Amino acid sequence: MLQMSDVKNAHFDFLQKFAKNSKIAGIIFILLGLVGIVFPTFMSLTSAIFFGWILLFSGFMAGYFTYNTNKSDWLGWLKAFILVAFGALTIVNPLPGVAALGLLFAMYFMMDAFASFALAFSSKGMQGWWIILLNGIISAVLSILFILDWPFGSLFYVGLFVGISLFFDGVMLLTMSSAIKKMEE
């Protein structure tokens, strides 16, 4: 029978491993984030190539799945071919991939802006509603920056925003690691 002390020990072991690994990952993310902030073009191209590899792998997996389930499924083969082709093209020539990522970021920020505006106006009068409105304004400005400078601005903005995101993810992981260490004391 499982004892409560066994559950606590397993939880404690998990937290210790998480604290150690989040500290290592946090430092790596902070360093990668700084590279992206200082060299945004490099980070943009790296992000597009990484995305290309994901597409390539997805294409191979779609082909493998189609082969194992229904070899005569031409739509499955078409999907696999398209994923592999776009992945390979993005790896070989990442600039169009950066432009595509720029459009995706523009759409994401615009949707985030509309959602934030809707939430802010529906909660107007509540404490802190203006922070939601501010988030919407910032997201709208970021989306407009992407749209106005597209496709060439994407080479700068994608890498910069990926770098900033990685930096703050790293700070968050280091903070969580420190918080867990304090809980253990």
- The answer to whether 144 and 113 are in contact (CB under 8 A) is no
Sequence-distant (≥ 6) Cβ neighbours of residue 109 within 8 angstroms = 139, 140, 142, 143, 146
Q: How far is Cα 98 from Cα 100, in angstroms, rounded to an integer?
A: 5
pLDDT band at 182 (very low <50, low <70, confident <90, very high): confident
pLDDT band at 5 (very low <50, low <70, confident <90, very high): low
Tens of pLDDT along 94-116?
A: 999 999 999 998 998 899 899 98
Q: Taking the alpha carbons of 53, 102, 143, 111 in that order, is the dihedral positive or negative?
A: negative
Tens of pLDDT along 50-76?
A: 999 999 999 999 999 999 999 999 999
Domain range summary for the chain, segments of one domain joined by +: 27-184
A 10 A CB-CB count for 24 gives: 12
